[in-house]
């Protein structure tokens, strides 16, 4: 029994001890988690190690010739950890003076060397782990600082912390600013930067970082856990010279007319490549900047440039021919109590004119009456007209590689939602009650220039990784034939006629031919009926050279306030300036001067009766690449022109009589005469045309007078 009791006592003692330990453990847990919880959570957060994302270097955006439109320049944030655990006191003491001198002299001259030392000593004493040295250091500055005393021992022993902080730069500044675009936190992605963000961004890396107090991070080691992968480059179709030409021409035009904003797009006809795209809007200080991509995002009522689609529909349905007649009612006609007016002075003096002429002078009444007659007054004609517009792809976006393209708008016949009425059809025919972006309309004009083949507009031609092509984007055909060949040829004639004798005839040039259409639209014409409130949009769309189109172009200017409002006087000159400079700068648009059959020279255009040494004559004729027959055997010779052929004949020079020097240059004549002891008197300049002593006269040391001409 004694042994049993002894065992039980021991068990009870152990049990009590375990219970007491458990109670104490529980109490301490409560104490730490509740009473001291805030303290330990703060410490835990300040001593935290995690993998932090390292942003990859962003790829470049290039022009077609490799020039940089956007690139990431290397900048660095330099910080110092004076309390790095691997830094020994001996290193600190031996290098702090020298480091202070270098920092004060080359990095922050706001401090003296002594002041800088005091600042670093303070940071060390206050246990700082992330002291800022320089925020935006260049690569050269970073490399220089990495060689400073103490810093040259690296991150762990020297406390030298480098954080990449690349900056996006645009070497050409505002050129194509909105097209290049940007990606920013808190904003929608814009332009090519936004559309190709995944390609340009690359793959981020990871690095172990130690979170110090004040929520700052310090790299745990020099090595990166996962290396970031640089983004790929994209090569655009932009020609920087044409972009500069387009931007300057648009800017000059907007300033001259004090317009609200404008856009100009230059496209390669055969491929659909966008060679230049400029968008400028007026800023608060009355300057102009690329604040919005009007070419892609602004869908408006285009006005008379839309008449191209109307004429194509009428011709395609075989309702009219260009030489048919139309009564334009002296430029005024009423459709269902809504009056339509022309703006051309010629309209007010005319009744019946040809359809060709109605298009050239941009008669609203002419187009409206034709569409009303052949579509509006026919059963199912409204739907047929709208379907024709859709045949020309005017109801579809271009899907250009930029976010935010506005959708085109064409009313559905008899739709209450679209507010269809009796005047919808004639007003649609002249570019109202429809909406389209400049780029979408240019795509139609480009198709006409391209013989009816509609190309997809595009901006990016390839993706590159370290100068190696990863992906190529080729021209894409949207529609092989938007209309018959006959229709395309006829509207090409119409567009050329607009420039030759129509609303754009003041813009034509003798250097080359271009084709196009002017457009003038009242903005929100139903809303602002009072004349004082009317605002205008002027446009011109076309292509050049007309006989073999290389480029198509559209210019749209919104709300011009001075020096004109019409497309031919506002947008047309901008188009012409772009076309002139593009034509002058592109050698492929010019015919080589030797690309013609060599003309046969007439006798009066050939050298005749010119005399001199035979070898000199032969050398000159060979240099000029002139055909000749050489019959001369003597040292001296004369050229004779027989019809269209040159002959070299003997010129006899005797030592006993006065020689014939007519036709010779003065040097040869003097040489021959003075060697025969004749005294020479000269008058005039050029070649010898007359000598005072007849050739063949015996020599007697006479004086001979030479007349040169």
Write the CATH number for 131: 3.90.1310.10
Query: Got the DSSP string for 82-105?
Result: TT-TT--HHHHHHHHHHHHHHHHH
pTM of the prediction? 0.73
| In-domain check, residue 32 | no
CB 517 within 8 A of CB 541: yes
| In-domain check, residue 370 | yes
CB 55 within 8 A of CB 75: no
CB 174 within 8 A of CB 94: no
Please indicate, yes or no, whether residues 172 and 196 belong to a single structural domain of this protein: yes
What per-residue confidence (pLDDT) applies to 53?
A: 63
Q: Would you give the distance in Å from CA 492 to the centre of its chain?
A: 27
**Per-residue buried b or exposed e for 653-683, using 16+ beta carbons within 10 Å of the residue's own CB:** beeebbbbbbbbbbebbbebbeebebebeee
CA distance 249 to 254: 9
Please indicate, yes or no, whether residues 349 and 461 belong to a single structural domain of this protein: yes
Tell me the pLDDT tens digit for each residue of 256-278: 999 999 999 999 999 999 999 99
Domains in the chain, number: 3
CA distance 283 to 289: 7
Q: Which residues of the chain have pLDDT under 70?
A: 1-2, 4, 37-54, 205-226, 525-532, 588, 592-605, 643-644
Please indicate, yes or no, whether residues 137 and 163 belong to a single structural domain of this protein: yes
Pairing between strand 679-684 and 703-708?
parallel
| In-domain check, residue 675 | yes
Domain final position from 206, 234, 262: 234
Pairing between strand 460-465 and 233-236?
antiparallel
Domain final position from 234, 254, 272: 234
CA distance 186 to 169: 20
Domain final position from 554, 589, 624: 589
| In-domain check, residue 540 | yes
Please indicate, yes or no, whether residues 471 and 364 belong to a single structural domain of this protein: yes
Please indicate, yes or no, whether residues 417 and 279 belong to a single structural domain of this protein: yes
| In-domain check, residue 34 | no
| In-domain check, residue 201 | yes
Query: The dihedral of CA 14, 19, 24, 26: what is its sign?
Result: positive
Please indicate, yes or no, whether residues 195 and 272 belong to a single structural domain of this protein: no
Please indicate, yes or no, whether residues 200 and 253 belong to a single structural domain of this protein: no
Please indicate, yes or no, whether residues 197 and 269 belong to a single structural domain of this protein: no
Please indicate, yes or no, whether residues 384 and 472 belong to a single structural domain of this protein: yes
What per-residue confidence (pLDDT) applies to 211?
A: 57
Please indicate, yes or no, whether residues 251 and 277 belong to a single structural domain of this protein: yes
CA distance 503 to 64: 36
| In-domain check, residue 556 | yes
Read off the tokens for 481: 């034939």
What per-residue confidence (pLDDT) applies to 528?
A: 46
What per-residue confidence (pLDDT) applies to 210?
A: 57
CB 468 within 8 A of CB 489: no
Please indicate, yes or no, whether residues 484 and 353 belong to a single structural domain of this protein: yes
Domain that holds residue 177: 52-234
């Amino acid at each position: 029994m004694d042994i049993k009791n002894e065992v039980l006592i021991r068990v009870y003692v152990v049990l009590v001890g375990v219970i007491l330990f458990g109670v104490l453990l529980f109490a301490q847990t409560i104490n730490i988690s509740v009473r001291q919880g805030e303290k330990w959570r703060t410490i835990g957060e300040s001593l935290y190690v995690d993998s932090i994302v390292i942003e990859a270097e962003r790829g470049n955006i290039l022009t077609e010739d490799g020039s940089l439109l956007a690139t990431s320049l290397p900048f660095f944030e330099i910080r110092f950890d004076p309390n790095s655990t691997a830094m020994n006191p001996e290193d600190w003491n031996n290098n702090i003076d020298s480091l202070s001198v270098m920092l004060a002299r080359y990095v922050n001259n706001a401090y003296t060397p002594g002041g800088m030392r005091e600042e670093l000593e303070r940071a060390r004493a206050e246990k700082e782990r992330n002291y800022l040295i320089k925020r935006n250091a260049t690569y050269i500055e970073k490399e220089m600082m990495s060689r400073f005393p103490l810093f040259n021992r690296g991150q762990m022993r020297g406390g030298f912390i480098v954080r990449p902080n690349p900056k996006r730069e645009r070497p050409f500044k505002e050129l194509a600013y909105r097209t290049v675009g940007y990606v920013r936190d808190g904003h929608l992605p814009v332009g090519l930067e936004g559309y190709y963000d995944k390609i340009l961004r690359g793959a981020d890396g990871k690095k172990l970082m130690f979170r110090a107090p004040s929520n700052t991070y310090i790299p745990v080691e020099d090595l990166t856990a996962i290396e970031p992968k640089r983004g790929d480059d994209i090569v655009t179709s932009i020609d920087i010279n044409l972009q500069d030409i387009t931007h300057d021409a648009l800017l000059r035009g907007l300033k001259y007319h004090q317009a609200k904003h404008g856009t100009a797009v230059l496209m390669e006809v055969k491929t659909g490549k966008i060679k230049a795209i400029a968008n400028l809007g007026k800023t608060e200080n009355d300057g102009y900047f690329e604040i919005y991509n009007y070419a892609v995002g602004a869908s408006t009522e285009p006005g008379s440039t839309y008449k191209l689609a109307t004429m194509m529909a009428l011709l395609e349905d075989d309702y009219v021919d260009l030489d048919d007649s139309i009564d334009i009612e002296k430029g005024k006609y009423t459709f269902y109590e809504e009056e339509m007016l022309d703006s051309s002075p010629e309209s007010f003096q005319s009744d019946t004119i040809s359809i060709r002429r109605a298009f050239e002078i941009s008669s609203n009444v002419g187009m409206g009456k034709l569409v009303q007659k052949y579509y509006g007054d026919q059963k199912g004609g409204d739907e047929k007209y709208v379907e024709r517009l859709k045949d020309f792809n005017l109801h579809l976006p271009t899907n250009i590689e930029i976010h935010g393209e506005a959708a085109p708008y064409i009313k559905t016949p008899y739709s209450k939602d679209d507010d269809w009425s009796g005047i919808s059809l004639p007003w649609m025919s002249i570019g109202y009650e429809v909406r389209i972006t400049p780029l979408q309309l240019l795509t139609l004009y480009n198709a006409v220039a391209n013989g009816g083949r509609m190309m997809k507009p595009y901006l990016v031609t390839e993706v590159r990784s370290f100068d190696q092509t990863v992906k190529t984007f080729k021209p894409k055909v949207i529609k092989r034939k938007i209309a018959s060949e006959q229709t395309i040829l006829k509207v090409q004639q119409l567009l050329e006629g607009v420039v030759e004798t129509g609303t754009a005839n003041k813009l034509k040039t003798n250097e080359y031919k271009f084709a196009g259409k002017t457009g003038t639209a009242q903005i929100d014409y139903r809303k602002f009926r009072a004349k004082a409130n009317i605002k205008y949009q002027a446009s011109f769309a076309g292509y050049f050279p007309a006989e073999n189109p290389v480029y198509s172009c559209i210019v749209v200017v919104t709300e011009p306030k001075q020096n004109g409002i019409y497309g031919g006087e506002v947008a047309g000159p901008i188009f012409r300036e772009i076309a002139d400079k593009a034509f002058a700068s592109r050698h492929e648009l010019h015919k080589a001067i030797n690309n013609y059959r060599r003309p046969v020279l007439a006798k009066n255009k050939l050298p005749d009766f010119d005399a001199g040494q035979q070898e000199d004559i032969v050398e000159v004729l060979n240099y000029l690449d002139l055909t000749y027959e050489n019959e001369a055997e003597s040292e001296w010779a004369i050229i004779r022109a027989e019809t269209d052929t040159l002959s070299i004949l003997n010129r006899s020079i005797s030592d006993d009589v006065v020689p014939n020097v007519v036709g010779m240059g003065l040097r040869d004549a003097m040489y021959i005469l003075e060697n025969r002891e004749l005294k020479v008197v000269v008058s005039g300049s050029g070649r010898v045309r007359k000598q005072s002593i007849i050739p063949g006269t015996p020599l007697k040391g006479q004086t001979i007078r030479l007349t040169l001409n």
